[in-house]
Each structure stands twice: as C-alpha cells, then as structure tokens.
C-alpha cells in the first residue's frame, strides 16, 4: 500500500478524464468551459496502464471525475474497463447528473457502484442561478433512478454558499428523511480563478454543524481510513449529512487520496504546487515497473497539509482540471 512520511495510506485514486463541462457553476467555470490548445485528455489505453499500476500499489477505490466525466463518449467503456479489474472494490464517479436519468441502469450494469451527484440547491431558481442550468427537477429524477437501479453508495454534493443556499438545511433534511442518500456540504474552496467569489460567498461548515446539533443530529465515530468528511446521523432519518471543511484543523490528517489530472499529471494534493507528469510512462505495457517506482517515490514529497488558510491555492486554477 502507498504510504507517506506521515503514515497516511492511499487506497483511493481520483482520476479526472476530461476538463470539459456543459455547466457553468459560479465557483468553478463561471464562463463555461473554454476550449484550450493544450494536450489531449488521457486515452483509454493510457488510463488502462495507469490504473493497473495503481492497483498493484494497493489502490482499491477509483473515482472518475472531471470536468463532467459523463460528457466523454467513452465514459461507460472506461468505467466498465476499470470496474472489471480484480482488486477494484469501489468504482465511483462524480457527476452534475445531466445524463443520469437515462443512463443510470447502463452505468450500474457497467460496474459503477458509487456515485456523487452535485446539487447545490433544492430550489429550482437558485439551482439555475448557481449552475447556469434550469435542470434541478430532472437531476432529482436521475437520483431517484440511481437509487432504483441499486447504486450502493449515493452522495449528494452541496457547495455551501453564504446568502445563496445557507438557508436550505431543512430542505435537505426533508429530502433525506426517507431517501437513503448522504448529503455532503462542502465548504467553498478558494482556487486560482475565484478569489473574489470566495471572499464573498465562503461560509464555514460550522454554520451547518450548529444547526444539525440543535436538531438532534449526532456526529458519527470516525471509521479508520475514512476520508476527511465528518458525518452526522439521526435515527428518524433514512439518509445522513456530511461536512467537508477543508479549512478546519486536522482536515489533512485523514487524507487518503491521490489525484490524476485529465492530461496525466499526478497531484499529491488538490492544492499542491507541483504536478508530476506521468503520461510519458503510460505509452507501453513494459513501462509499468518504472511508473510504479515513480509514483511511490513521489509519496515522499507529500506535505502534511495544504496552505489554503494562508490563501495558497497551489497551481489549481479551478476544480474542472483536477476534479473535486
């Protein structure tokens, strides 16, 4: 298993397969995706070799992300290829849900078993305002479909935005009363592109935590190897609520993930200052041992924490290139 100097282990890989997205979320791609003349996104063959190396290094959970991963025409083929590999226990993806309703069954059949769907507001108008798309109702239908076709783990990502959606906790609680999903509030993160937006709309997740406790929700004991989310449950509710607070003390001590950008750079941290190019080692099957050695070596350089609180966002311009 990949281990760093701080005894953190890394069973989890987040793999961005495209930067392209059809939404224009205010905090991520406010002007929509702008085509660049940069390198192409990783091919299926390159992804295949990359994943094989990571599995041999102990990875058992892979999340496809982006951009919007389902925008790639070969998204289902990529998912099927990875899910079929011995050693993969959790085959996950994060999506804005725009194709979920029609594809949930196909994706489940392809071997995807965990899904995160972003839905930043349960108010249709606000959803439109945040994402640029008036599609909240159809995305909610997609979530119903994902439950129906038997995804094991369904999480709803909500980026907490001051004075935009910070008054919606009770709507989300109503939603999880009978719906067995985990809603996760994510604190807005500063990136290279969104400083002004961040300053205006960032709100600490403590705001939600206080309200949960007032409403009788209980913080769960943290499982060994669990990621950075702090989870709350309530015996009267089918679903749960999680808080992801990257600015909180100790957030990084639970780090269990590595990231690969859509063009094949290893990122040790979402907010790190270095991207380590791996693509040149993804060209032939006989490069696998070199690739594994290069990845393992990089773990020595993983810092104990990010420096977000000091406004250092590293080389990240927005989350569409690296995935959230």
Rounded-to-integer distance, Cα 310 and Cα 299, Å: 23
Q: Which of residues 276-315 bind ligand SAM (CB under 6 A)?
A: none
Contact string (CB under 6 A) for ligand SF4, positions 18-47, x = contact: ---x-xxx--xx------------------
Residues in binding contact with ligand SF4, number by CB under 6 A: 13
Rounded-to-integer distance, Cα 58 and Cα 67, Å: 26
Among 139, 169, 186, 241, binds ligand SAM (CB under 6 A): 186
- Work out what residue 29 binds among ligand SF4, ligand SAM, none; the CB cut-off runs from 5 to 8 Å by kind: ligand SF4
Query: Which is nearer to ligand SAM, 68 or 265 (by Cβ)?
Result: 68
Among 4, 46, 68, 187, binds ligand SF4 (CB under 6 A): 68
Q: How far is the CB of 157 from ligand SAM (least distance, A)?
A: 3
Binding flag, residue 191, ligand SAM (CB under 6 A)? yes
Other C-beta atoms closer than 10 Å to the C-beta of 198 total 16
Query: Which is nearer to ligand SF4, 158 or 278 (by Cβ)?
Result: 158
Rounded-to-integer distance, Cα 101 and Cα 189, Å: 29
Kindly report the three-state secondary structure assignment for every residue of the chain.
CCECCCCCECCEEEEEEECCCCCCCCCCCCCCCCCCCCCCCCCHHHHHHHHHHHHHCCCCEEEEEECCHHHCCCHHHHHHHHHCCCCCCEEEEEECCCCHHHHHHHHHHCCCCEEEEECCCCCHHHHHHHHCCCCHHHHHHHHHHHHHCCCCEEEEEEEECCCCCCCCHHHHHHHHHHCCCEEEEEECCCCCCCHHHHHHHCCCCHHHHHHHHHCCCEECCCCCCCCCCEEEECCCCCCEEEEECCCCCCHHHHCCEEEECCCCEEECCCCCCCCEECHHHCCCHHHHHHHHHHHHHHHHHCCCCCCHHHCCCCCCCCHHHHCC
Binding flag, residue 269, ligand SAM (CB under 6 A)? no
Residue nearest to ligand SAM (CB): 324
Check residue 163 and give left, alpha or beta (phi > 0: left; psi -120 to 50: alpha). Answer: left
Q: Which of residues 115-144 bind ligand SF4 (CB under 6 A)?
A: 118
Q: How far is the CB of 185 from ligand SF4 (least distance, A)?
A: 15
Q: Which of residues 99-138 bind ligand SAM (CB under 6 A)?
A: 118
Q: How far is the CB of 116 from ligand SF4 (least distance, A)?
A: 10
Query: Which is nearer to ligand SF4, 30 or 180 (by Cβ)?
Result: 30
Q: What is the length of the chain?
A: 324
Query: Which is nearer to ligand SF4, 23 or 93 (by Cβ)?
Result: 23
Among 11, 67, 142, 275, binds ligand SF4 (CB under 6 A): 67
Q: How far is the CB of 137 from ligand SAM (least distance, A)?
A: 18
Q: Which of residues 27-86 bind ligand SAM (CB under 6 A)?
A: 27-28, 65-66, 68
Binding flag, residue 156, ligand SF4 (CB under 6 A)? no
Q: What does the binding site for ligand SF4 look like in residue numbers (CB under 6 A)? A: 21, 23-25, 28-29, 66-68, 96, 118, 319-320
Q: What does the binding site for ligand SAM look like in residue numbers (CB under 6 A)? A: 21, 27-28, 65-66, 68, 94-96, 118, 157, 159, 186, 188-189, 191, 194, 319-320, 323-324
């Amino acid at each position: 298993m990949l281990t760093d100097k701080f005894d953190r282990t890394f069973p989890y890989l987040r793999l961005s397969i495209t930067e392209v997205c059809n939404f224009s979320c205010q905090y991520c791609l406010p002007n929509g995706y702008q085509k660049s003349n940069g390198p192409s996104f990783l091919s299926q063959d390159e992804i295949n070799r990359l994943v094989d190396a990571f599995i041999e290094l102990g990875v058992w959970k892979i999340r496809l992300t982006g951009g919007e991963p389902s925008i790639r025409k070969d998204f289902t083929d990529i998912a099927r290829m990875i899910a079929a590999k011995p050693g993969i226990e959790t085959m996950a993806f994060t999506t804005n849900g725009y194709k979920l309703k029609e594809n949930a069954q196909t994706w489940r059949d392809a071997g995807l078993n965990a899904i995160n769907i972003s839905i930043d507001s349960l108010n249709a108008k606000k959803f439109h305002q945040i994402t640029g798309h008036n599609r909240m109702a159809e995305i909610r239908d997609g979530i119903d479909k994902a439950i129906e076709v038997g995804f094991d783990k369904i999480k709803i990502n909500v980026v907490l935005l001051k004075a935009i959606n910070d008054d919606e906790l009770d709507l989300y609680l109503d939603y999880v009363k009978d719906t067995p999903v985990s809603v996760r509030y994510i604190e807005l993160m500063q990136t290279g592109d969104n400083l002004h937006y961040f300053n205006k709309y960032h709100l600490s997740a403590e705001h939600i935590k206080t309200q949960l406790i007032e409403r009788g929700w209980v913080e769960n004991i943290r499982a060994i190897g669990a990621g950075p989310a702090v989870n709350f449950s309530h015996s009267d509710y089918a679903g749960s609520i999680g808080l992801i607070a990257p600015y909180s003390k100790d957030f990084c001590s639970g780090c269990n993930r590595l990231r690969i950008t859509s063009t094949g750079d290893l990122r040790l941290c979402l907010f790190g200052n270095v991207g380590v190019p791996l693509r040149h080692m993804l060209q032939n099957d006989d490069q696998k041992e070199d690739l594994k050695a290069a990845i393992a070596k990089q773990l020595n350089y993983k810092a104990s924490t990010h420096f977000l609180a000091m406004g250092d966002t590293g080389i990240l311009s927005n989350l569409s290139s690296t995935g959230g």
